[in-house]
Chain A
Amino acid sequence: MRRHRVSAGAVLLALVAVLAASWAAGQQQAEKLAEGPGANLVLAKCSLCHELGHITRIRQTREDWADTVKLMIRRGAPVSPAEETVLVEYLTKYYGR
């Protein structure tokens, strides 16, 4: 009886661990940006208001990314002209079409 209870507890613990790991993996997958120059800036600026899925699920031309970044600046994103160039470069390279 006692042995049985211990093993049930262990199974429960293992299940919790597996669920937690898969949840974390899911989060990471959804939130992960392609590595490259500018990734940290994208993370710092875009994540102020959005989860990264807004970026990772679409592919856009350079022109469209440039327009998107400009729009976000009009909507209050604190991005300098130099940073704007880095963002557009990164987004076009890794999420371009």
Chain B
Amino acid sequence: MSDEKKQDREKQEESAEQHTVTRRTFIGTAGRLGAILAVGSTALSLESAAQTSAPAVTTAQTSTPPPPPLRGPVVPNTEVMAGKDPVMKVLTERPLTANATAENLNDAVTPTNRLFIRNNLLTPDLQAAGHTLTVKGLVEKQLVLTFEELKKTFPAVTVQGMLECAGSGRTSFVPLPKGTPWSPTGGYGCPKWTGARLRDILKAAGVKKEAVHVAFFGADFGELPTAPPVVRSIPLSKAMDRNTLVAWEMNGEPIPKVHGFPLRALVPGWVGSASIKWLVGIEVLDAPFKGTFMDDSYRVPAHPVSPGEKMPKETVSTEAWPVKSVITAPAPGAKVTAGSMFTVEGKAWAGENSIAKVEISVDEGATWKRAALARPGDKYAWRMFSLPVTADRPGYLTILARATDSRGNVQPIVSTWNPLGYFWNGIHRVGVIVEKA
């Protein structure tokens, strides 16, 4: 545990160091940006809040969350779902959540119309024209960039990366914790994202040495004007990762409204809530952001508790997903023929780590066979696996998949129960019917 902490600190220091060096190389970019720096923006409520509550120059720690964004037009759920594949199941309407399950997520790249939906509030109907992104807090220069300026100023990169809700697979937990009732294999996807590297934006603003966390502010609003805004922060080291983006495209198209149009954060491999949608603000802080979406949600007990027990005092924030795999083919209940070969296919991913191996068992875990892994793609993309299997007798056959990551972490049989039902990564089990030849 202390080793891990030490490593984290080292990683952070290393990244801060790296950052100081590269900041110099970015003076050019910052200079170019000088022309588009703005002193203030009355359009942004987060902006005016910071100006009235604290001079952002001395301390960036936002102790009281900004007022919620003003309510604007809303995209109705019916319109959102009309753009989705019928295989997607709506789990809750208010807020809107929906998922497709593993057998319908067999594409190498998750199609836009099958990516899960997880709103905290309503779907704001934002426009790209006039949309701005403010970068403030512990930075040398505050930036206010329009959507077009952002796209013009920073090099665009495309990465395939995992987006997975912290509660993905929640309904596998017993007893069922509160929260979105994600299907056992729903609540994740791996599309391709295009946008600017967050670190390029931060370097252009000039991150001060006291920086520890970077907060993202969403423009979404709730039914009630009293609903607090959705704000989450991530450690500076992750913000400086080359795969952490401010994205404007998903699978080569503008991000759909429900997925954060026109701008969203993309923190691949981490709990989905870190990837704030409808991004309007970035604030560099000297500590994690204090707010209900940091302190009340997305936390797990520091030490495991009995199933059903309440959240203990000592908790930790959820960050990277642990190693996980799902079987995408055959589908549950599919028919195969005794004596004939069929292929077990699936996807495996491991948060900050990479996949070392995936094993398949067709005898309830008594014996395991190594599946073939497809060539690795982008760092935070899932890895596809496959294994030809022959069912030697008719009847019912169960298939299990178990992934191991590069650090030797293996998927558990059952994930550790926690009060908010996060990080389900238990071994996936699919039953098929074997018919006589």
Q: Do the beta carbons of A49 and B222 come within 8 Å of each other?
A: yes
Residues of B within 8 A of A51 (CB): 92-94
Residues of B within 8 A of A58 (CB): 176-178
How does the 8 Å CB contact mask read for B75-95 relative to A, with 1 for contact and 0 for none? 000000000000000001111
Q: Do the beta carbons of A97 and B94 come within 8 Å of each other?
A: no
Give A76 to B68 CA distance when docked, in angstroms: 10
A78 smallest CB distance to B (angstroms): 7
Q: Do the beta carbons of B310 and A61 come within 8 Å of each other?
A: yes
Q: Do the beta carbons of B227 and A49 come within 8 Å of each other?
A: yes
Interface SS of B by simple majority: loop
Q: Do the beta carbons of B224 and A60 come within 8 Å of each other?
A: no
| CB closest chain-A residue, reference B297 | A71
Q: Do the beta carbons of B308 and A74 come within 8 Å of each other?
A: no
Q: Do the beta carbons of A60 and B178 come within 8 Å of each other?
A: yes
Q: Do the beta carbons of B227 and A71 come within 8 Å of each other?
A: no
| CB closest chain-A residue, reference B68 | A76
Q: Do the beta carbons of B224 and A59 come within 8 Å of each other?
A: no
Give A71 to B419 CA distance when docked, in angstroms: 14
Residue of B181, B227, B311 near A76 (CB, 8 A) is: B227
How does the 8 Å CB contact mask read for A31-57 relative to B, with 1 for contact and 0 for none? 000000000000000001111011001
Among B174-193, those with CB < 8 Å from A are 175-178, 181
- The answer to whether B226 has its CB under 8 Å from any CB of chain A is yes
| CB closest chain-B residue, reference A59 | B175
Q: Do the beta carbons of B224 and A76 come within 8 Å of each other?
A: yes
Give A59 to B310 CA distance when docked, in angstroms: 13
Residues of B within 8 A of A75 (CB): 222, 227-228, 292
Residues of A within 8 A of B176 (CB): 57-59
A92 smallest CB distance to B (angstroms): 13
Q: Do the beta carbons of A64 and B310 come within 8 Å of each other?
A: yes
- The answer to whether B314 has its CB under 8 Å from any CB of chain A is no
- The answer to whether B296 has its CB under 8 Å from any CB of chain A is yes
Residues of B within 8 A of A74 (CB): 228, 292, 296
| CB closest chain-B residue, reference A47 | B94
Residues of A within 8 A of B419 (CB): 64
Q: Do the beta carbons of A71 and B296 come within 8 Å of each other?
A: yes
- The answer to whether A67 has its CB under 8 Å from any CB of chain B is yes
Give A97 to B292 CA distance when docked, in angstroms: 26
Residue of B95, B177, B296, B308 near A61 (CB, 8 A) is: B308
Give A78 to B227 CA distance when docked, in angstroms: 10
Q: Do the beta carbons of B175 and A97 come within 8 Å of each other?
A: yes
| CB closest chain-A residue, reference B120 | A75
- The answer to whether A85 has its CB under 8 Å from any CB of chain B is no
Residues of B within 8 A of A50 (CB): 92, 94-95
Q: Do the beta carbons of A49 and B310 come within 8 Å of each other?
A: no
Give A59 to B222 CA distance when docked, in angstroms: 26
- The answer to whether A16 has its CB under 8 Å from any CB of chain B is no
- Asked if A77 meets B224 with Cβ closer than 8 Å, knowing A61-B310, A64-B310, A71-B296, the reply is yes
Among B388-406, those with CB < 8 Å from A are none
Residues of B within 8 A of A60 (CB): 178
Q: Do the beta carbons of B308 and A76 come within 8 Å of each other?
A: no
Among A1-56, those with CB < 8 Å from B are 48-51, 53-54
Question: Which residues of chain B have a CB within 8 Å of any CB of chain A?
Answer: 68, 92-95, 175-178, 181, 222-228, 292, 296, 308, 310-311, 419
Pick the 8 closest A-B CB pairs, nearest first. Answer: A76-B226, A76-B227, A49-B223, A76-B224, A50-B94, A63-B310, A58-B178, A51-B94
16 A–B contacts, CB within 8 A, in A order? A48-B224, A49-B94, A49-B222, A49-B223, A49-B227, A54-B178, A57-B176, A61-B308, A63-B310, A64-B419, A67-B310, A71-B292, A71-B296, A74-B228, A76-B224, A78-B226
